[in-house]
């Protein structure tokens, strides 16, 4: 399992850059990022190398931040691989909450980051099916 941060930001020009400037100014390495927007605000999800420090810094700057677990799974770079993984989750009757990816990782295979309604069961089933579930230290670019 990995730790990810979810940050509520205004849906306005420069709002993501404000968050990334805090990371840059505090020497925090951003490893994955996804933004899900609505007309007024967005949820910015990210994986960083220092999640606790990042949460504290962003909270101190007035952001609403939560830290939660997610699963990062290694996938081969070929057609249909993501479908096969998602079908295993669906066949296990596990709901998928969201998904995003890291494609380039220093010549390593891509990672897909996902959150389900039962992370432990998802992790166990995927490992049983031969997937490699990455840890926080494995989420490197």
Taking only the tens of pLDDT, the chain with its 141 residues reads 889 999 999 988 899 999 999 999 999 988 888 888 788 899 999 999 899 999 999 999 999 999 999 998 988 878 999 999 999 999 999 999 989 887 555 656 667 788 899 999 999 999 999 998 887 777 755
What is the pLDDT at residue 106?
Answer: 62
What is the pLDDT at residue 103?
Answer: 56
What is the pLDDT at residue 50?
Answer: 93
Phi-psi category of 14—alpha, beta or left, where left has phi over 0 and alpha has psi -120 to 50?
A: left
What is the pLDDT at residue 135?
Answer: 78
Token representation of residue 32: 């994955």
What is the pLDDT at residue 109?
Answer: 65
What is the pLDDT at residue 6?
Answer: 96
Residue carrying structure tokens 């840059």:
24
DSSP string, 114-133: EEES-HHHHHHHHHHTTPPE
What is the pLDDT at residue 7?
Answer: 97
Residue carrying structure tokens 């979810």:
6
Alpha-carbon span 5 to 55, nearest angstrom: 7
């Amino acid at each position: 399992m990995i730790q990810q941060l979810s940050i509520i930001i205004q849906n306005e020009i420069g709002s993501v850059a404000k968050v990334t400037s805090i990371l840059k100014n505090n020497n925090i390495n951003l490893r994955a990022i996804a933004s899900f927007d609505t007309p007024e605000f967005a949820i910015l999800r990210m994986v960083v190398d220092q999640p606790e420090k990042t949460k504290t810094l962003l909270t101190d700057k007035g952001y609403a931040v939560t830290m939660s677990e997610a699963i990062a799974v290694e996938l081969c770079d070929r057609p249909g691989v993501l479908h096969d993984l998602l079908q295993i989750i669906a066949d296990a009757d596990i709901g998928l909450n969201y998904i995003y990816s890291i494609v380039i990782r220093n010549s390593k295979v891509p990672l897909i980051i996902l959150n389900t309604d039962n992370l432990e069961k998802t992790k166990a089933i995927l490992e049983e099916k031969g997937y490699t579930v990455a840890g926080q230290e494995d989420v490197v670019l």
